[in-house]
Amino acid sequence: MYWYNKKNDIRKAAVAIAFAALFVSCSTDPATKREKTAKQIDVPAFFKQEVERLQREKPIVLKTVTKDDLSEKKELQIENWANELASFQTIDLNKPAYADVLTKDSTANTLIYSSTGPEIDLSYVEIQFNKAHKPVNWIIKRTIKNSLYQTEEVLKYYSDSAYSIEKEQSVLILGDKRYGVEATFIK
């Protein structure tokens, strides 16, 4: 019986060590976790604030809409800025899918995120800051691909000045289309 009890104790110890090893391997060092999930600029929050500001101020813009070779230009007051800037608000640098794929480069007043990996839709984000370190100019490039279509977008936003959205879309059966919106704030 003595050998049985000792064997039982060895089994219990082995199980305890296995659980401890599993528990330790699943937990991460908080410092390491913070490094991996370092927050990038909150693009949706920035554009949400811009939408709220523009809704309050109600600026008049000179807007040109283009589809392929046709274009129309109007001076107007945008009623729904959330809808107007929706393409900008969908950009989120803090998506988990971007964590290890985007590279970050910066100078005194410019921050650039870029990726050459085909696994994500975002390829380039350039943010220019004013002297108060507030974002003022944005250039965003992304490509959305699936089995039915491919869309390439270039989004530009210049605070209190202008914005543009350029899209080239290639749809499997329908062919290629080009869309564009350019707007200049008149004040």
Task: Please calculate the CA angle 151-106-133 and round it to the nearest 5 degrees.
Answer: 100
Quick one: how many helices (H) and strands (E) in the chain?
5, 9
Confidence of residue 2 (pLDDT cuts 50, 70, 90): very low
Locate the domains of the chain by residue range: 1-38, 40-185
User: 149-175 pLDDT, tens per residue?
Assistant: 899 999 999 998 999 999 999 988 888
Mean per-residue pLDDT, 27-46: 62
Report pTM.
Answer: 0.77
The overall average pLDDT reported for the chain is: 83
d(CA 91, CA 79): 22
Single-letter code of the amino acid located at 2 = Y
Asked if residues 54 and 78 have their Cβ atoms less than 8 Å apart, the reply is yes
Mean predicted confidence (pLDDT) in 49-58: 95
On the question of pLDDT at 7 being above 90, the answer is no
pLDDT at 28 exceeding the cut of 60: no
Residue 184 has pLDDT above 70, yes or no: yes
- Looking at residue 38, its pLDDT comes to 60
Q: Is the dihedral of CA 83, 85, 87, 90 positive or negative?
A: negative
User: CB within 8 A of 171, min separation 6: which ones?
Assistant: 148, 149, 177
Distances (CA, A) of 121 to 16, 48, 94, 102, 174: 45, 21, 14, 11, 22
pLDDT band at 27 (very low <50, low <70, confident <90, very high): very low
CA–CA separation, 34 vs 57, rounded Å?
39
